[in-house]
Homo-oligomer: A and B are copies of this chain.
Amino acid sequence: MDYQSLSLEIADHVAVVTLNKPEKINAMGADFWDECGEVFRQINDDPDVRVAIIASTGKHFTAGIDLGYLQSLLPPQDADPARAMDMMRRKIKYLQGAFEAIDNCRVPVLAAVQGGCFGAGVDLVSACDMRYASADAYFIIQEVNIGMVADVGTLQRMPRQIPDGLMRELAYTGRKYHADEAFATGYVTHVAEDHEALLAHVKQIAATIAAKSPLAVSGTKVMLNHTRDHGLQEGLDYIASWNAGMLSFQDVMKGATAALTKSTAAFDDLM
Choose among B87, B148, B254 the residue that contacts A252 (Cβ–Cβ < 8 A).
B148
Q: What is the minimal beta-carbon distance from A270 to any residue of chain B, in angstroms?
A: 6
Q: How many copies does the complex hold?
A: 6
Cβ–Cβ contact B212 & A144, under 8 A: yes
Segment 113-146 of A: residues with Cβ below 8 Å from B: 129-131, 142-146
Bits for A12-37, please: 1 = Cβ < 8 Å to B, else 0: 00000000000000000000000000
A173 within 8 A of B: yes
Q: With A86-B244, A250-B80 as given contacts, are A216 and B165 in contact (CB-CB < 8 Å)?
A: no
> Residues of A within 8 Å of B, CB-based: how many?
111
Segment 144-184 of A: residues with Cβ below 8 Å from B: 144-151, 153, 155-157, 159-169, 171-175
A105 within 8 A of B: no
B-binding residues in A (CB < 8 A): 51, 67, 70, 74-75, 79-89, 92-93, 96, 100, 103, 108, 129-131, 142-151, 153, 155-157, 159-169, 171-175, 185-189, 205, 208-209, 212-213, 215-221, 223-224, 227-256, 258-259, 265, 267-268, 270-271
Cβ–Cβ contact B227 & A271, under 8 A: no
Cβ–Cβ contact A147 & B240, under 8 A: no
Choose among B212, B236, B246, B249 the residue that contacts A174 (Cβ–Cβ < 8 A).
B212
Cβ–Cβ contact B156 & A93, under 8 A: no
